[in-house]
């Protein structure tokens, strides 16, 4: 059973469950993905020359942030060999809705079609989707963000927080969820989001993030960026059992050969 999406007269997708829109109209939605999230985490510059880059997102929704990130990775000659995008989603939408939205962004449509071909059977649990010949991994944690993040060990280089508005979707922004997010951060991990709610800023600071308001992307006046810089020593991050921490030899060596 996939999540019900209502399409508004202006073409924006709306969630009856949360009483909120997934995105603003197309141009704003794209600008938000590109500027609030991708640029808000210093990408693509931050990943240049790195062997891999790991992004954690709360709230996969239509995957617009994912598609924009994948597209930026695809276009970047200095891209990491492996892009691992991990995203939580409690209520996956149908592939047909995902494609309906992606048709508004012709440059993203081929990527959305590749994604949609694997977008099925998303029962609660972890789903690993191999895209771009295995160079882009999408780990979908289907379930509640806080619960799923507590159950899995992962380290993120960038974090996108993208729930519905805190008033309508308080679980996604609760201190407990943010603590579960923070345990995935390494020192220096950058985080970006579109809401500057005072409680969120206080809670992120309590979790070890240095938080700053930055000029927003219309219709928002301000957005939020943060870096993980706790005053305490975070516990040493374990290896990522979801697979991407140890790079496959063919991705690690810039095209070299390995005898097995």
Task: Write out 8-66 in H/E/C secondary structure.
Answer: CCCCCEEECCCCEECCCCHHHHHHHHHHHHHHHHCCCHHHCCCCEEEEEEECCCCCHHH
* Number of residues binding to ligand SAM, judged by CB under 6 A: 21
Q: State the nearest-atom distance from the C-beta of 2 to ligand SAM, in Å.
A: 11
Task: Report DSSP state, residue 244.
Answer: T
CA atoms within 13 Å, Cβ hemisphere of 147: 10
Q: Is 90 in the site for ligand SAM (CB under 6 A)?
A: yes
State which residue, 33 or 185, has the beta carbon closest to ligand SAM.
33
Asked if residues 226 and 41 have their Cβ atoms less than 8 Å apart, the reply is no
Site string for ligand SAM, 117-156 (x = CB under 6 A): ---------------------------xx-----------
CB-based contacts of 176, cutoff 8 Å, min separation 6: 146
Determine which residue in the list 61, 85, 122, 173 makes contact with ligand SAM, applying CB under 6 A: 61
Q: Is 171 in the site for ligand SAM (CB under 6 A)?
A: yes
CB-based contacts of 205, cutoff 8 Å, min separation 6: 211
Q: Is 164 in the site for ligand SAM (CB under 6 A)?
A: yes
Q: Is 73 in the site for ligand SAM (CB under 6 A)?
A: no
State which residue, 171 or 248, has the beta carbon closest to ligand SAM.
171
Task: Report DSSP state, residue 133.
Answer: G
Asked if residues 30 and 38 have their Cβ atoms less than 8 Å apart, the reply is no
Q: Tell me: cis bond preceding 134? Omega within 30 of 0 counts.
A: no
Q: Is 62 in the site for ligand SAM (CB under 6 A)?
A: yes
Query: Which range binds ligand SAM by CB under 6 A, 73-81, 168-176, 214-222, 252-260?
Result: 168-176
Asked if residues 241 and 54 have their Cβ atoms less than 8 Å apart, the reply is no
Q: Is 40 in the site for ligand SAM (CB under 6 A)?
A: no
Q: Is 191 in the site for ligand SAM (CB under 6 A)?
A: no
State which residue, 176 or 186, has the beta carbon closest to ligand SAM.
176
Chain residues that interact with ligand SAM, rule: CB under 6 A:
22, 33, 59-65, 88-91, 144-145, 162-164, 169, 171-172
């Amino acid at each position: 059973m996939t999540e019900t999406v209502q399409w508004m007269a202006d073409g924006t997708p709306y969630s009856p469950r949360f009483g909120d829109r997934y995105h603003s109209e197309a141009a704003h939605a794209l600008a938000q993905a590109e500027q609030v999230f991708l640029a808000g985490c210093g990408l693509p510059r931050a990943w240049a020359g790195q062997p891999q880059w790991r992004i954690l997102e709360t709230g996969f929704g239509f995957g617009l942030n994912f598609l924009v990130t994948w597209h930026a990775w695809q276009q970047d000659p200095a891209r990491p060999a492996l892009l691992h995008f991990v995203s939580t989603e409690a209520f996956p939408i149908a592939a047909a809705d995902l494609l309906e939205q992606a048709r508004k962004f012709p440059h993203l449509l081929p990527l959305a079609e590749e994604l949609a071909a694997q977008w099925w059977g998303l029962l609660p649990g972890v789903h690993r989707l191999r895209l771009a010949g295995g160079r882009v991994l999408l780990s979908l944690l289907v379930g509640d963000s806080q619960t799923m993040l507590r159950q899995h060990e992962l380290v993120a280089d960038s974090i996108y927080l993208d729930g519905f508005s805190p008033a309508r979707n308080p679980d996604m922004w609760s201190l407990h969820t943010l603590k579960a997010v923070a345990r995935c951060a390494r020192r220096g991990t950058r985080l970006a989001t579109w809401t500057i709610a005072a409680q969120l800023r206080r809670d992120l600071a309590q979790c070890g993030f240095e938080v700053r308001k930055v000029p927003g992307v219309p219709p928002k006046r301000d957005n939020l960026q943060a870096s993980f810089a706790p005053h305490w020593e975070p516990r040493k991050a374990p290896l990522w059992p979801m697979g991407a921490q140890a790079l496959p030899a063919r991705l690690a060596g810039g095209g070299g050969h390995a005898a097995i």
